[in-house]
Amino acid sequence: MRIRSKALAATALALTAALTLSACSSSGGAQATETTAASAAAGSGGQTASTPRLTIAMITHETPGDTFWDKIRAGAEAAAAKDNVDLKYSNDPTAAGQATLIQNAIDSKVDAIATTLVTPDALAGPVAAAKAAGIPLVGFNSGIDQYADLGALMYFGSDENLAGTSAGERLAAAGVKHPLCVIQAEGSVALEARCAGVKKSAPGTENLQVNGADISSVTSTITAKLQQDPTIDAVVTLGAPIALAALQSKSEASSQAKVVTFDLNADVAKAIQDGTIEFSVDQQPYLQGYLAVDSLWLYKTNGNDIGGGKAVLTGPSFVDSTNIAAIAGFAANNTR
Amino acid sequence: MSSSLKTPPPSSTSATVTSASPKASLSLGARLMARPEIGALIAAVAIYAFFFIVAPPFRSIDAFATILYASSQVGIVAVAVGLLMIGGEFDLSAGVAFITAALTASIFSYQFSVNMWLGSAVALVLALGIGFVNGYLVVKTGIPSFLITLGTFFILQGANLGITKLVTGSVATQNVSDIDGFGSLKAIFDTKINLFGANFRITVLWWVLFVAIATWILARTRIGNWIFAVGGNAPSARAVGVPVNKVKIGLFMAVGFLAWFYGQHRLYGYNTIQAGEGVGQEFIYIIAAVVGGTLLTGGFGSAIGTAIGAFIFGMVSQGIVYAGWDPNWFKAFLGVMLLLAVAVNLYVKKLATTRRSV
C-alpha cells in the first residue's frame, strides 16, 4: 500500500506512516474507496470546456453539516469543473440570511445565480433584484410552484407533494394501514409537504416530530412511539440518517414495521441491498446541483433553455431491491 | 469608514462611577484606552482592511450596504441585550422572541382580517409582556437570569411552532402583504434608501438611532448610572437607593421592545415568517456585546462597543462569501474572533487600569 504524503510536518508523517504500515487493515478503510473515488473524479474532472471563465454563485438553505447538501455541492462542483466555472457556494438556513446572500452575489457581479427557493415569499425581493441587475437566475431543490412567478429562468428539483403521494401509494399497495411519518426538522415546509403527500394516499398516516440534530434522541423517540403503538406497520423517514436511526428503533422495540425513507446514502443503499429498508424515494440531489450549474453555463454560452418553460423533475426516483445493484456503487461514492 | 464607527466624545463610564480618582488627572490617551469598545474598534479596522485586501467585491459601496444591513440585523436587538448585560443579566430568549413578535403580528392580522397596525400593536404588547415576565421572575425568585430566560426560550420555541401549526395548518405564516396597513408599515420597517449610488436598508438607520439613544442613556442620564451600578454591585446599588428591580425589569422590557422592532422588520421585509427560526440568534447578540467589550459579569460595557461587535459579525459573515471561501468555516472564524476580541479587551483593560494606578 502506498501512502500519499501531504505537505505536513515530516516527523508527524513519518510517525503516522510507520503506524499505518505496521497496522494495515486488510479490508475496508480508505484504501477500499480510493480507487472508486479516483475513477469517479476522472469521469467528472478530466476535461474542461474552452468557454470563457464564468463565476456562478450557488446559494442554499443548508443547515451546515448535512450529508444531503454534500451531494448537491458535489454535483455542482463536478459541473463547474467541466464547464470552466468558478463556483461560489454559500448557505444560510434562515430566509433573511439567504436573501442577504443573494444580494451579496449581486454585489459581487457574478455571471449567474443558482438558488434554492424554500421560502419563495421571502426571497421574491432579492430574486427580482438579480433580474433587475441582468443576472440570470435558476431555482433548484425547492420552490417548484413559485419559481416562475418569482422570475427564475428554470427549475431543477422534485415535487415534494408528488414524492410523498407516490411513496404513500406504494405503501398502501403493500397493505400498510398505519404508517408513521417522522419529521426531523421543526418548521420545514418541504418535510411537512412530504408527510401530507403520504397521508393523501395512506389516510392512516400519523406524524412524529423528532430532533434531527440529535440522532440518539431520534432513536429513543421512535422507539418509544413504536412501543406505545404496536399497530404502526411502517415507518417513513425523510432523511437517510433518520432511516438508520429508525432501523435501530425497530429492533429495540422488536417491531415488525417496514422502514422506508426519502433520500439515499451509502448506508441506506446497503440496507436496501440487505432488505432491511424496503425502498428509498430519491430526489437525486447530485443531479440538482449539477443541472443548476450546467443549465446556467448552457444559457450563458449557448442561449439554451431547459424544461420547455416547465420545471425539470429530478425525482421521485425509487430505489429498491430491483435497481439497487446498479446504484449502490454510486451511493458509496457520495454521488447518488 | 462607516459613520457608525466614530469615536464618541469621552464621557463618564463605570470607571468614573466607581473609581475615586478625578478625571482630570487622566491623559486623553489613557481615557480612550479605558473605553470598553477600543479593543473591538482595533479589531474591526483590522478585519475591514483584511477583507478589503483579499476580496475585490468587498470594496464596492453595494457590498458595504449589504454588510451594514447584515450587521443591523444582529445589531438592533444586540443594543438592548448589551444594555441588559451591563446591568448584569442575560436574556437567552431574545432570539426566538423576535420570531414570536413577527408571528403574532402576522397571524393575528390574518386570522381576524384586521389592519396590520393592530396586529403589530398586539405583538408589541406581547413582546413587552414577555420582557416583563422575564424581568419579574428574575428579581422575584432570585434564580439566575440565565436559567429563567433559558426556560422562556424553550417555551417560546415550542409555542412558535405549536401555535403556528395549530392556527395556520403549516409551519410558516401566510403571505400578509395584501392586508391593509402592510404598505405603510413596510415603509417604516423595510425601505431602501439610495445613498452614494447604493441601496441602504432602513434598518441600518434605525440601528444607528438605537445605538445613539442607548449611548446617551448610558452616558448622560441617571438611568445610565443606575444600569452600571446595578450590574456592578446590586446590593450596594440598592443600599444607596437605586431602584434595582425596576431597572432590571426595564432592561428586560427593552430587549422585548427591540426584539419586537426587529421582528416587524422580518415580517414586513420578507412577507412570511418561518416558525422555527430565531434559535441560536440569542448567542449572536451576546457575542456582539462581548466582542464589543461588555463584561459577562456586568457593570462595564458600551452601546457603541456592542454595535462594533455586530458590525464585525456582519463583516465576517458576508466577507467570507465575498472572498469566495467555503462558508463551512464561518463558525470557526467566529469562534477565533470571539477569543481574540475577549483577549484584546482584557489586555487593554489591564493596560488602562495599571496606567491609572501609577
Per-residue model confidence as pLDDT tens digits over A134-175: 999 999 998 999 999 999 999 999 988 899 999 999 999 999
| CA-closest candidate to residue B306, choices B130, B149, B84, B153 | B84
How far apart are the C-alpha atoms of A163 and A141, rounded to whole Å? 13
Name the packing angle between helices B182-189 and B202-220 (round to 10°): 60
Query: Taking a C-beta distance cutoff of 8 angstroms, is the pair A99, A93 a contact?
Result: no
User: Are residues B172 and A99, on separate chains, in Cβ contact within 8 Å?
Assistant: no
Half-sphere exposure of A151 (CA within 13 A, CB side): 16
Cα B264 from Cα B289, distance rounded (Å): 22
Q: What integer is the mean pLDDT of A243-266?
A: 92
> Distance (Å) from the C-alpha of residue B3 to the closest C-alpha of chain A?
21
Residue of B nearest to A189 (CA): B171
Q: B330-357 and B38-54 helices cross at what angle (nearest 10)? A: 140
Given an 8 Å threshold on Cβ–Cβ distance, is A91 in contact with B327?
yes
Q: Tell me: pLDDT of A264 over 50.
A: yes
Report CA Rg, chain B: 21
- Picking from A324, A297, A227, the residue whose alpha carbon sits closest to that of residue A78 is A297
Three cell numbers, residue B25: 488627572
Per-residue pLDDT band at A38 (split at 50, 70, 90): very low
Gap between the Cα atoms of B107 and B173, Å rounded: 7
Contact A95 B326 (CB under 8 A): no
Q: What is the mean pLDDT of residues A281-310?
A: 94
Contact across the interface for A99 and B274, Cβ inside 8 Å: no
Higher pLDDT, B209 or B163: B209
Residue of B196, B271, B274 to mutate for A, most A C-beta atoms under 10 A? B274
Distance CA B303, CA B215 (A): 6
CB contact at 8 A, A135 and A164: no
Summarised one tens digit per residue, pLDDT across range B66-79 is: 999 999 999 999 99
Determine the Cα–Cα distance for residues B45 and B143; give it in Å rounded to an integer. 40
Chain B residue numbers touching A125 (CB-CB < 8 A): 269-270
* Chain B residues with CB-CB distance to A124 below 8 A: 271
Q: Which of B183, A296, B72, B121 is nearest to B112 (CA)?
A: B121
pLDDT for the residue numbered B30: 67
pLDDT score of B193: 84
Show residues of chain B in contact with A95, CB under 8 Å. Answer: 270, 272, 274, 277
Domains identified in chain A and CATH numbers: 5-159+284-332 (3.40.50.2300), 160-282 (3.40.50.2300)
Residue B225's pLDDT band (cuts 50, 70, 90): very high
- Residue-level pLDDT at B148: 95
Q: Which residue of B has its CA nearest to A86?
A: B324
**A282 pairs with which residues across the strands?**
A317
Mean pLDDT of B86-114: 92
State residue B40's pLDDT score.
Answer: 84
Please tell me whether the peptide bond between A126 and the residue prior to it is cis, using omega within 30 degrees of 0: no
Question: What is residue B172's three-state secondary structure?
Answer: strand
Instruction: At B327, list the grid cell.
Output: 462558508
For residue B353, pLDDT over 70 is answered with no
Find the range with the poorest average confidence among A15-19, A40-44, A64-68, B242-246: A40-44
Q: How far apart are CA B2 and CA A218, in angstroms?
A: 47
Interchain pair A104, B328: CB under 8 A = no
* Surface-to-core class of residue B16, CB atoms within 10 Å of its CB (0-12 exposed, 13-18 middle, 19+ buried): middle
Dihedrals φ, ψ of A259, to 5°?
A: -115, 125
Q: B99 near B261, Cβ under 8 Å? A: no
Which amino acid, residue B211? V
Least confident interval from A3-7, A48-52, A211-215, B228-232? A3-7
Residues, chain B: 358
pLDDT at B331: 80
Closest to A181 in 3D by CA, of A222, A241, A138:
A222
Q: What does chain A come to in residues?
A: 336
Using the Cβ of B158 and the Cβ atoms of chain A, whether some distance falls under 8 Å is answered with no
Helical packing angle, B94-112 and B61-86, nearest 10°: 110
Q: Are strands A279-282 and A317-320 parallel, antiparallel or unpaired?
A: antiparallel
Mean pLDDT of B209-223: 95
Q: How many CB atoms lie within 10 A of CB A261?
A: 30
Q: Which of A64, A121, A185 sits opposite B272 (nearest CB)?
A: A121
Pick from A64, A107, A188: which is nearest to B63 by CB?
A: A107
- Provide the H-helix boundaries in chain B: 14-18, 28-33, 38-54, 61-86, 94-112, 116-141, 145-168, 182-189, 202-220, 222-232, 234-239, 244-270, 281-291, 303-322, 330-357
Q: Do B57 and A99 touch (CB under 8 A)?
A: no
Residue A188 has a pLDDT of 73
Mean pLDDT of B241-248: 93
For residue B268, which residues of chain A lie inside 8 Å, CB to CB?
Answer: none
Q: Which residue of chain B is at minimal alpha-carbon distance from A191? A: B171
Please report the DSSP string for A175-220 in residue order.
T--SEEEEE-STT-HHHHHHHHHHHHHSTT-EEEE--TT-HHHHHH
Amino acid A4: pLDDT: 46
Which residues touch A45 (CB under 8 Å, ≥6 apart)?
A78, A81, A82
Cβ atoms B47, B1 nearer than 8 A: no
Chain A residues whose CB is inside 8 A of the B272 CB are 95, 119, 121-122
Confidence of residue B26 (pLDDT cuts 50, 70, 90): low
Give the start-to-end residue ranges of the domains of chain B: 23-357
Our CA-based measurement puts residue A122 at a distance from the nearest CA of chain B, in whole angstroms, of: 4
B264 touches chain A (CB under 8 A): no
Q: How far apart are CA B319 and CA A52, in angstroms?
A: 26
Nearest to A186 among B70, B272, B276 (CB): B276
**Of the partner residues A90, A100, A192, the one whose CB lies closest to the CB of residue B66:** A100
Q: Is A121 in contact with B60 (Cβ distance < 8 A)?
A: no
Q: Would you identify the CATH topology of the domain B23-357?
A: ABC transporter involved in vitamin B12 uptake, BtuC (1.10.3470)
- b or e along B295-331 (b: 16 or more beta carbons within 10 Å of the residue's beta carbon)? beebbbbbbbbbbbbbbbbbbbbbbbbbbbbebeebe
On average, the pLDDT of chain B sits at: 85
CB pairs under 8 A between A and B: 86
Q: Quick one: pLDDT at residue B355?
A: 53
Residue B271 contacts A, CB cutoff 8 Å: yes
Q: Which residues of B touch A63 (CB under 8 A)?
A: none
pLDDT tens digits along A190-214:
888 899 999 999 999 999 988 887 8
Is the separation of the CB atoms in B82 and B288 below 8 Å?
yes
Question: Which residues of A sit within 8 Å Cβ distance of B?
Answer: 64-65, 86, 88-91, 93-96, 99-101, 103-109, 119, 121-122, 124-125, 185-189, 192
Q: Which residue is closest to A185 within chain B, CA to CA?
A: B276
- B73 and A86: CB-CB below 8 Å? no
Contacts of the segment B328-331: beta carbons below 8 A, 24+ positions apart: B328/A64, B328/A65, B331/A64
